[in-house]
Structure 1
């Protein structure tokens, strides 16, 4: 029996030895990493210039670790070996929109989904006053046609400044990708840097036949540069083919036929740069006058919808709603507005830029802004002097002193009615 058991135990022992010998060659299987990183988030730009920017993003996450990123510009790969979370991008075109996205990779080559696309624009080149109006990019085609360039927008205001019966074309150009922004009131919006506002003054040679041609006199241009507004003026030549920058004032004799068929001779006064500052200055800060939201809150001639709504629809204005903005009355509309509204509206657009706190006229306590309560305007106490000055053409006495040399007959009739109404 013992020899039999010995054989059994020997067989079991050898089996164990063989089994252990096989274990020496065993290698456990390894699981491959197939988990993708998360997409990079919060794409943003810094150090933006006319030709470059730095793209930044938040780091992606991965179960093992992200080792690099790839950046796409307008859908085209521009770099796939980025080991940080930023990339300087150069050789861009000024005032141009670009789109960027980023993908993350781990050590196994697993890639994330695309990040959200960031759209951004390079800065516009800083505007300057060129020698000739044709260099300013305001018009396309022959200058005398006054056709706005493709990126220039016509705008209108519903109660206008009187300038010896001259007609005016009002234009604004914003940098690409920029917009005017609502500031919480119905006055001026916030304009981006490199905004251009142009106003061209002209007469029709014959108001009874506008096709007879124009007598174009000047194009005044406001530029917003580094947060500050600058003023400049271009005087048109006799051939109406070009206008030249000047800072000097002058007088230009004008003769034209008005709507009644009468010939009017006017010594039109072109303002100097200092004259422009006089009207556009408030507390030593230069500002536009006409482009207040309440002055544009109406349906103009170039579109069938409210002007503010239209400007928002084309991306030039944001953050406002026309129903929340008041409207400066059209002083010529006696059917829609009372004499009190019309009188105050005329004084607002023609006089208030100088006659208000911070304005250029400091020796009067007048405040002609439309929204100033009547009892704070001092109009009643000054009504006699107002009546005399609006009918005067004496340069040192007339009101306004700048911008007119003749009496605005229609406005004087309305203003005398207004002054009589407040007296009664």
Structure 2
């Protein structure tokens, strides 16, 4: 079944652009690292809520990147008179001056302890009025991606305990938290806010030029409906109507990744979408992991490039003594789910961005491998 993230129209209804008219205009900082998130005036705390400024447009992804079960609020803002240009496969071509934000937060656990956060995919209590309801959620961090003349800059901010302001965290941060499940099962973990160099290592999708680029706002990831105040609309068409996107073709010509939780989609489409957003920014022909020969973006053909019967490029603890990245029909003999299931440095994949195991995601990849026909015995 689809997750509550997609099932609650209230989510989008309450995340409208132009929500907080009392804020100063959004500030584009052409250089430097402003010490406070509020220096940007993109999102700010007012009246117990995290508010969006005028012209700040929220968006969502068909399949989001997993980050320790954190919920996320994504926004984009562009200077007046500018527009992004459509691209069928790469990130939308955003103009200089664009500010993208991503706020990571958790629903508060029922026991009310500040370090306890709920492990769920239910967004129904996150919002009140025009923004995030701080009575029900705990803000963790907000990451800013700003497009300057010399390229994109990634700037992390960490929210204070009072939940009033987020401050610059160029060297990152480690926050001890406890995930509390619906069954009250508890899992202690360290939430890691990446430092600037780690942000850059993930966002440099092309390891040749090593330039930072946004990962999420690609046409295939945001080609989905969103429930706005005046009704449901496709996000790409909505951006085009606002003047934030030019060159958009008919939606029938726009690629679309599946929602990994949508059981109406094929198992293959769901698994490929999951690997695309979680792994494809490194595991692509030009990415940081291109020397592995394993490419996991959605355009990879289903052959050895995708890992099917492909031996690893290097032996060691990362293989778990398995012979191939993917063994059709045998997930427990495959390296890919082994690494996704690990929290051990040198073994776990992705290497950054999580301290916990995404159990539901691993189950999806295992089911996908179990359903694959064929065998690797003949080439072992």
- What TM bracket, shorter-length normalisation? 0.7 to 0.9
Q: Report how far residue 307 of structure 1 moved.
A: 1.0
Match of 2:298 among 367, 370, 373: 370
Q: What is the 5 A alignment of 1:332-347?
A: 332-335=261-264, 337-347=265-275
The secondary structure found in structure 1 opposite 2:174 is strand
C-alpha distance in 1 between matches for 2:47 and 2:167: 12
Higher relative contact order (CA 8 A, sep 6+): 2
TM-score, normalising length: structure 2: 0.74
C-alpha distance in 2 between matches for 1:272 and 1:133: 16
C-alpha distance in 1 between matches for 2:373 and 2:47: 49
Number of aligned residue pairs: give it: 301
The secondary structure found in structure 2 opposite 1:198 is strand
Residues 209-237 of structure 1 deviation map (CA, whole Å, 9 limit, x = unaligned): 65642221111111110151111100111
Q: What is the 5 A alignment of 1:206-355?
A: 206=109, 207=118, 210=126, 212-281=135-204, 282=206, 283=208, 284-302=210-228, 304-321=232-249, 322-335=251-264, 337-355=265-283
The secondary structure found in structure 1 opposite 2:237 is helix
C-alpha distance in 1 between matches for 2:78 and 2:150: 14
Task: Confirm whether residue 136 of structure 1 aligns to residue 65 of structure 2.
Answer: no
The secondary structure found in structure 1 opposite 2:337 is helix
Which consecutive unaligned segments of at least 5 residues does structure 2 have?
1-24, 110-117, 127-132, 311-324, 327-333, 375-380
Change (3 A) 1:186 1:361: closer
Match of 1:412 among 357, 362, 367: 362
TM-score, normalising length: structure 1: 0.67
Q: Alpha carbon RMSD of aligned pairs, Å?
A: 2.2
Highest Rg: 1 or 2? 1
Q: Report how far residue 204 of structure 1 moved.
A: 0.8
Aligned to 1:114: none
Residues 370-390 of structure 1 deviation map (CA, whole Å, 9 limit, x = unaligned): 012222623212111102101
Match of 1:171 among 65, 71, 75: 75
Which consecutive unaligned segments of at least 5 residues does structure 1 have?
1-94, 96-123
C-alpha distance in 1 between matches for 2:274 and 2:96: 30
